[in-house]
């Protein structure tokens, strides 16, 4: 993997770059489509590509559960299984430590779920066998209300697990990103970023943001983190996908994003009708009367072939096609918002 910054916005820290992987290159800042269980829900790979997404993401924890790493490996790896020949990222299951908090216990050894033990070593091994191009180490993510002591202890554990992850590697053709945590504390964020940077990883994953804290705090902590990172290495902010947020954080110097938000909202009948992410609810009866595309100027298949009213009617009849069209459209809005931000930088410079 190779990353190059091509231009930087004179009015912000936004950088336009290109991430080159063995399976193709990606213009950054970029949004990655989430296919948690090896499928972007309801979409074919062609649908996903049509949204402008160039990287797809799957979750190691969920794939371990179903259909199992052995099974995916037998089918020729995750690219073959997903029918996706472009760049791919797998995350480590660290976020499930946080989101499935009631179901697990964290010890220095790893994370104990009811039916599964995740260790830094087995997470690296699973991802090497799945074969994604960008891979993540196991980490411990804390909630927004975690105390300083809880955050410090999670940070210490994440750092120890990072060393074990580096030692567990058997291949070198996948880019293993360092995962930067630090909770809601400015100095801990900086300290985590500095110690991750000292290990010279090919990329940085910024975790534990957008976990319930106010957006002003997200921006301030993100700024503190980015300040400590080397400029030539890509930064991936995990779990942020609202179009206004991705542009805001791209302007702080973030290069990659992922979130289930665009597709989850689409499946529940919310579509973004502008690049700021203003929501339109397809379930409202009034939506049936609206003519024209979901967003003026959008060239996604939903907007070029269907009117708002007809997609609302499909949604209100619980037709699967509505979920698919709304998901494709929302992914396209995030991609278009970042495309607009990139174009502005190129125009300025």
Which residue has tokens 């820290």?
Answer: 13
In the complex, minimum distance from the CB of residue 295 to Zn ion, in angstroms, rounded to a whole number: 5
Q: Which of 157, 242, 329, 342 binds Zn ion (CB under 5 A)?
A: 329
9, 91, 133, 255: the active-site residue: 91
H runs (alpha helix) in 53-147: 60-65, 69-74, 78-82, 94-99, 120-130
Binding to Zn ion by residue 271, rule CB under 5 A? no
State yes or no: is 258 an active-site residue. yes
Judge whether 32 and 256 are in contact, CB under 8 Å. yes
- CA 197, 199, 202, 203 dihedral sign is negative
In the complex, minimum distance from the CB of residue 58 to Zn ion, in angstroms, rounded to a whole number: 25
Binding to Zn ion by residue 248, rule CB under 5 A? no
Region from 4-12, 71-79, 112-120, 328-336 binding Zn ion, contact rule CB under 5 A = 328-336
- Between strands 178-180 and 204-206, the pairing is parallel
In the complex, minimum distance from the CB of residue 330 to Zn ion, in angstroms, rounded to a whole number: 8
Region from 2-10, 28-36, 302-310, 337-345 binding Zn ion, contact rule CB under 5 A = 302-310
Which residue has tokens 């074990």?
Answer: 164
Which residue has tokens 């009849």?
Answer: 317
Q: Which of 124, 205, 250, 303 binds Zn ion (CB under 5 A)?
A: 303
For residue 260, give the DSSP letter. Answer: S
Structure token digits, residue 238: 């995990």
**222/338 with CB nearer Zn ion:** 338
**302/337 with CB nearer Zn ion:** 302
Binding to Zn ion by residue 345, rule CB under 5 A? no
Binding to Zn ion by residue 324, rule CB under 5 A? no
Binding to Zn ion by residue 251, rule CB under 5 A? no
Binding to Zn ion by residue 300, rule CB under 5 A? yes
Closest CA to 211 of 259, 147, 146, 143: 143
**147/276 with CB nearer Zn ion:** 276
Residues that contact Zn ion, how many (by CB under 5 A): 6
Binding to Zn ion by residue 56, rule CB under 5 A? no
**200/304 with CB nearer Zn ion:** 304
State yes or no: is 91 an active-site residue. yes
3-state secondary structure 266-333: HHCCEEECCCCCCEEECCCHHHHHCCCCCCCCCCCHHHHHCCHHHHHHHHHCCCHHHHHHHHHHHHHH
Region from 1-9, 46-54, 261-269, 287-295 binding Zn ion, contact rule CB under 5 A = 287-295
**248/329 with CB nearer Zn ion:** 329
Edge to edge, what strands does the sheet with 134-135 contain?
A: 175-176, 134-135, 88-91, 56-59, 30-34, 256-259, 235-238, 204-206, 178-180
Region from 70-78, 81-89, 105-113, 329-337 binding Zn ion, contact rule CB under 5 A = 329-337
Judge whether 133 and 175 are in contact, CB under 8 Å. yes
Residues that bind Zn ion (CB under 5 A): 294, 298, 300, 302-303, 329
């Amino acid at each position: 993997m190779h990353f190059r910054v091509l231009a930087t916005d004179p009015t912000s820290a936004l950088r336009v770059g290109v991430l080159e992987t063995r399976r193709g290159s990606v213009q950054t800042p970029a949004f990655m489509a989430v296919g948690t269980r090896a499928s972007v829900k309801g979409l074919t790979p062609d649908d996903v590509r049509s949204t402008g997404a160039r990287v797809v993401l799957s979750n190691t924890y969920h794939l371990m559960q179903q259909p199992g790493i052995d099974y995916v490996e037998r089918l020729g790896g995750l690219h073959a299984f997903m029918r996706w020949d472009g760049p791919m990222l797998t995350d480590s299951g660290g976020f499930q430590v946080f989101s499935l908090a009631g179901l697990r216990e964290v010890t220095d050894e790893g994370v104990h779920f009811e039916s599964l033990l995740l260790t830094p070593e087995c997470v690296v091994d699973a991802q090497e066998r799945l074969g994604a191009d960008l891979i993540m180490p196991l980490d411990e993510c804390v909630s927004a209300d975690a105390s300083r002591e809880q955050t410090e202890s999670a940070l210490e554990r994440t750092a120890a697990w990072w060393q074990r992850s580096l030692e567990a590697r058997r291949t070198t053709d996948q880019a293993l990103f360092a995962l930067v945590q630090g909770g809601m504390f400015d100095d801990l964020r900086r300290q985590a970023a500095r110690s991750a940077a000292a290990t010279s990883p090919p990329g940085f994953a910024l975790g534990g943001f957008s976990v319930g804290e106010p957006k002003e705090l997200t921006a301030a902590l993100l700024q503190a983190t980015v300040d400590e990172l080397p400029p030539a290495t890509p930064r991936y902010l995990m779990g942020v996908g609202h179009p206004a947020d991705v542009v805001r954080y791209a302007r702080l110097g973030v290069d990659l994003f992922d979130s289930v938000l665009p597709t989850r909202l689409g499946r529940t009948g919310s579509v973004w009708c502008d690049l700021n992410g203003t929501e339109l609810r397809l379930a409202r009866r009034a939506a049936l009367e609206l003519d024209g595309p979901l967003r003026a100027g959008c060239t996604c298949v939903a907007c070029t072939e269907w009117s708002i009213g007809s997609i609302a009617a499909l949604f209100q009849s619980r037709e699967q096609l509505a979920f698919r069209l709304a998901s494709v459209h929302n992914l396209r809005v995030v991609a278009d918002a970042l495309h607009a931000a990139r174009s502005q930088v190129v125009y300025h410079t």
